[in-house]
Homo-oligomer: A and B are copies of this chain.
Amino acid sequence: MNKISFLLIAMLFTATTFAQQALWGGQDIISPEIHSNKTVTFRLNAPLANKVEITGDFLPTQKMQTPMGEFDTPGNAELVKNDKGVWEFTTPNALSPELYSYTFIVDGVKVTDPNNVYMIRDVASVTSIFIIDGERADLYKVNDVPHGTVARRWYNSPTLNMDRRITIYTPAGYEQSKQEYPVFYLLHGAGGDEEAWIALGRTSQILDNLIAQGKAQPMIVVMTNGNVGQQAAPGESAKGMYKPSFMGDTRMDGDCEKAFPDVIKFVESNYRVKKGKANRAIAGLSMGGFHSMHISKQYPDLFDYVGLFSAAIMPREGVTSEIYQNIDEKLKVQFAKKPKLYYIAIGTADFLFDANTDFRKKLDENNYPYTYYETGEGHIWKNWRIYLTEFAPMLFK
């Protein structure tokens, strides 16, 4: 038997490539290209298109009028076609360190960048992403440090009478170690699921990096699914590949809070964890901040660390769950037990800013201590990644 020829082995590598180029339009161009001066060039091979634009969170925001008020939305810019039919846009200025999202608009159709395989899904929207490194954004990158394990598992919730999916980060060294670890429960917002923090929030990268730098304690991070009408993220349950929606299976009726001890019981009987209030933290964004507030006051002996990131605070009218009864009394009990950290973070442009100001006023009036962290901008993942990098280092110390 002869050795196969170089031609044949080359075919092994390239046959599929040929087919793919025909099939999927593999364009041999680089986009985005991050230059050494931190300007970025975006490219799209579209000789037949009439107009190609880009919209992304690195462009100056625009005001959008809606029936519910004025919102900031990312701006857009036009790409220019060169003589080869490749459209290009280069940012006029260097971009500051951050994880950015963008899409192209090809003759009016918003699409991801076909030359960039890195994308994240936020509810039903998928966008292309890239990272400008430096400063805090270095925490969002995969760096040459020891890496934790990320597992997607299923557990049973007796309270909800349902098998549910959960994402669990265990820090580097967990498997070889005999030590016990504290646990940080990290909750998503409305429309999100157990994939939100690990994908959009860069949880595993942030924790790997903070732990490697000695800035955060090694800890387990548990990312639950807070939609009690849902077993798992879209596509990950027997409901199949349906189109996700913002309301979807999201409810704020007290059941998520009521069932939360099921999660803790599962984690503490399946992982090598330090038990007790001093070794548990809970935080969440938006609806997850709401859940964190109500879970932590409902069970005042469970969490010494509570984080409200751009949190909704009060339940909606008409919800009758006992979880939301006697809120003031429950807060009184919770703060009498002196949690080590009650952390509130919000952006000044967040539509929940006033609700959080009201809540802080209440805490102030009662001399309930808390840590407050304010950023610019609004109800966006950029802020939630920042809050995670600020909150995690304060835990379990």
**Which residues from chain A sit less than 8 Å from chain B, CB to CB?**
1-20, 22-26, 30, 44-51, 55, 64, 66, 68, 71-74, 103, 105-112, 114-119, 121-127, 129-131, 141-144, 146-147, 149-154, 163, 165, 172, 175, 190-191, 232, 234-238, 240-241, 243-244, 246-247, 250, 252, 270, 286-287, 312-318, 327-328, 351-352, 355, 358-359, 362, 379
Contacts and interface: CB of A to CB of B under 8 A. Distances in A.
Contacts of A125: 20, 23-24, 26
Contacts of A287: 12
B114 A111 contact: yes
Q: How many copies does the complex hold?
A: 2
Contact of A270 (B50, B115, B175, B191): B175
B241 A130 contact: yes
Nearest to A175: B270
Contacts of A379: 15-16
17 contacts: A3-B316, A4-B315, A5-B316, A5-B317, A8-B355, A12-B312, A12-B351, A13-B191, A23-B125, A24-B127, A46-B108, A46-B109, A48-B107, A109-B114, A115-B124, A117-B234, A118-B241
Given A15-B379, A25-B105, A71-B15, A149 B149 contact: no
B11 A68 contact: yes
A214 B20 CA distance: 37
Contact of A142 (B30, B190, B235): B235
Across the A-B interface, give the 10 residue pairs with the lowest CB-CB distance, nearest first: A25-B110, A48-B108, A111-B111, A9-B316, A151-B151, A24-B125, A144-B238, A22-B73, A46-B109, A149-B153
B71 A19 contact: yes
A118 B236 CA distance: 11
Contact of A109 (B23, B103, B111, B314): B111
Nearest to A113: B111
Given A11-B68, A111-B111, A150-B151, 11 more contacts: A3-B315, A6-B316, A14-B68, A15-B379, A20-B124, A20-B125, A48-B109, A49-B106, A50-B107, A116-B243, A147-B154
Nearest to A76: B23
A313 B373 CA distance: 60
A362 B10 CA distance: 24
A172 to B, nearest CB: 7
B191 A16 contact: yes
Nearest to A239: B142
A234 B119 CA distance: 12
A146 B238 CA distance: 11
A24 B110 contact: yes
Nearest to A67: B18
B1 A142 contact: no
A191 to B, nearest CB: 7
A235 B19 contact: no
Contact of A317 (B3, B13, B72, B314): B3
A106 B46 CA distance: 9
B237 A142 contact: yes
Given A25-B109, A110-B114, A117-B244, A238 B142 contact: yes
